[in-house]
Amino acid sequence: MARRLPSPDADLQPLAADMAALGLLVRNRRAHSQLRIDDAAAQVGVSTDVLSRLENGRAVSLDKVFKVLDGFGLTLLVMTKDEAANALETRPSRPGGSEGG
């Protein structure tokens, strides 16, 4: 059965406070890359099951999380909640996009 590609969300905030939010960010990056899950998993060097679990907010080992993030050109930034809120408030708006809130 052919799988549909997820639709990219240009207004998704880059804040992941839990595994579900991190999974959405990873899935959104895959959508922007226009990759099926099996192709993306092979490209970043993890199993399709690992990538699926991560995208669905389920438990994945931290080394696999970092492998997926690196493979998609993403990084993890650890900061206080106040610093994160401030960074999101001062984020420039995207041309043609709406401000997320």
Residue 3 counted as domain residue: no
Q: Is there a domain that residue 6 lies in?
A: no
Q: Among residues 31, 26, 39, 38, which one has the least CA distance to residue 72?
A: 26
CATH number of the domain enclosing 85: 1.10.260.40
pLDDT at 91: 76
CA distance 36 to 48: 10
Global pTM?
0.81
CB 54 within 8 A of CB 64: yes
Residue 15's nearest CA partner among 82, 99, 67, 85 is: 85
Residue 83 counted as domain residue: yes
Q: Would you say residue 10 lies in a domain?
A: no
**What residues make up the domain containing 42?**
19-89
For 6-63, how does the pLDDT look when each residue is reduced to its tens digit (9 = 90+)?
A: 888 877 788 898 999 999 999 999 999 999 999 999 999 999 999 999 999 999 999 9
Determine, yes or no, domain membership for 14.
no
Residue 100 lies in a domain: no
- pLDDT band at residue 97, thresholds of 50, 70 and 90? very low
Q: Is residue 65 part of a domain?
A: yes
Total domains in the chain come to 1
Mean pLDDT of 75-97: 81
Task: Please report whether residue 64 resides in a domain.
Answer: yes
Task: Name which of 51, 53, 27, 56 is nearest 38 in CA terms.
Answer: 51
pLDDT of 5 over the 50 cut:
yes
